[in-house]
């Protein structure tokens, strides 16, 4: 599958969830102190993302 989530540690040692497409990071979350926090962020994106409205700020 060309798109996936990946959890990695940043330079501060925090867990960050990255959404990648063809190995390129499209967006990422804030840093979490635990891997469980990053996993919860992914679950929230999967649950709430499909129903989120799109706002054009221009």
What does the pLDDT look like over 29-46, one tens digit per residue?
999 999 999 999 999 999
Predicted confidence at residue 58, as pLDDT, reads 87
Asked, for residue 45, whether it belongs to a domain, the answer is yes
Q: What share of the chain is helix, strand, coil (3-state, %, to 5)?
A: 30, 35, 35
- Is residue 49 a contact partner of residue 27, using CB atoms and an 8 Å limit? no
- Is residue 15 a contact partner of residue 33, using CB atoms and an 8 Å limit? yes
Asked, for residue 31, whether it belongs to a domain, the answer is yes
Residues spanned by the domain of 32: 3-51
Predicted confidence at residue 35, as pLDDT, reads 97
Predicted confidence at residue 28, as pLDDT, reads 97
Total domains in the chain come to 1
């Amino acid at each position: 599958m060309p798109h996936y989530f990946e959890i990695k540690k940043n330079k501060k040692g925090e867990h960050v969830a990255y959404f990648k497409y063809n190995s390129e990071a499209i967006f990422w979350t804030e840093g979490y102190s635990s891997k469980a926090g990053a996993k919860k962020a992914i679950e929230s994106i999967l649950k709430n993302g499909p129903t989120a409205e799109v706002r054009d700020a221009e």
